[in-house]
Copies of this chain bind each other. A is one copy, B any other.
Amino acid sequence: MNHTYAVIMAGGGGTRLWPVSRKKHPKHILPLLGEDTLFQSTVARLEELVPLDQILIVTAEGQAEELEKQAPGIPAKNFLIEPEPRGTASVVGLAASVLAKRDPEAVMLVLPSDHYIRNRDLFHLVMRAAVQVAHKGYLVTLGITPSFPSTGYGYIQRGELLHEKYNYPVYRVLRFTEKPDEEKAREMLARGDHSWNSGMFIWRVDRILDEFARQMPDLRTALKKIGATWNTPEEQRVLRAEWPRLKSVTVDYGIVEHAENVAVLLAGGLEWSDVGSWDSLFDILLPDQDGNVIVNSEHMLLETHDTLVYSTEKKLIITVGVDDLIVVDSGDALLVCHRDQAQQVRQVIENLKKMDKNDNL
């Protein structure tokens, strides 16, 4: 029997890809990169590793229907719906509780639904190695080799090499650092012993539930109540009663950063991106000889270089004499942003909220 399960976290927003990614149409359910959505690619990437029946999706009420449509091979009962967003600790806890009931020996791959990985074969090798390490009782993180001093990712510092016979180098984790400022990021890159935290995790269900019991006992208690009534007529009543009281925290901060026996597997070569902002999308797509990328739009680029033009509708977009721009048209809204300023889109969203422009969120 295959004890490997995947848990896809598919409830997020992806606000830095505004105006295409919206509250009601977040980035993982959009065909951002072509025919498939990021969510569909995440599922497709798993098919060689895990039977479809062993893929769980944790998502929000408003997205479940669309996701079921996009992954018709996954049984409806595998879609777990958060009554409201309570952070990834709650998401992982819920999935772990449900899996523990189904298969006490389960190993779970925890995967965001909105990441991009070009090298799918390598992903399979990496995940198989990670599952081996997880079987030994480690909480496994996937570390990405940093290519620049990013302030958009968390960092993982590695300590001793754990085991030499895995296909991949696996180290004990010394320390996690949340998104740093640029100076700190440069320091970490210079040290040479830091990876980016990819946000993908691999662990045994019993191990992670033990960590919940040790570090977040209130959550563990609530999860036990929810788990006890799961697949019974009481399921939804208990879930809805317990959920809103949960502390909203990420699984990184709430559990992984202070867990015992945390390992980092160096997953070089995946060609991974969290597609977290327009500049990272730009990095994924193949530019033409002028460095330009055009997506979904009619276009005419005159004396234009290193510019991304993205439209969700058939629209004629023309640029003249510009460099290093990101131009995104979503019909009701238009973003024109310098490539180096793509992180500022988060600020745009904050401003829109303050201005009560809910139609644009």
Binding site for B on A (CB under 8 A): 19, 300, 302-303, 315-322, 325, 327, 329, 332-338, 340-342, 344-345, 347-348, 351-352, 357, 360
Contacts and interface: CB of A to CB of B under 8 A. Distances in A.
Nearest to A345: B320
A347 B317 CA distance: 15
A341 B317 contact: no
Given A302-B347, A317-B336, A322-B336, 6 more contacts: A303-B341, A316-B332, A321-B337, A327-B334, A327-B336, A336-B336
A319 B338 CA distance: 8
Contacts of A315: 332-334
8 contacts: A302-B341, A315-B333, A317-B336, A318-B335, A319-B337, A321-B340, A327-B334, A329-B334
Given A300-B348, A344-B303, A347-B302, A338 B316 contact: no
A302 B334 contact: no
A174 to B, nearest CB: 36
A316 B300 CA distance: 23
Contact of A338 (B320, B329, B333, B337): B320
A289 B14 CA distance: 33
Nearest to A307: B336
Contact of A333 (B303, B318, B344): B318
A336 B329 CA distance: 12
A33 B268 CA distance: 56
A334 B316 contact: yes
A105 to B, nearest CB: 50
A353 to B, nearest CB: 12
Contacts of A19: 316, 318
A325 to B, nearest CB: 7
A317 B316 CA distance: 17
A349 to B, nearest CB: 10
Contacts of A332: 315-316
Given A302-B344, A302-B348, A347-B302, A325 B320 contact: no
Contacts of A360: 316
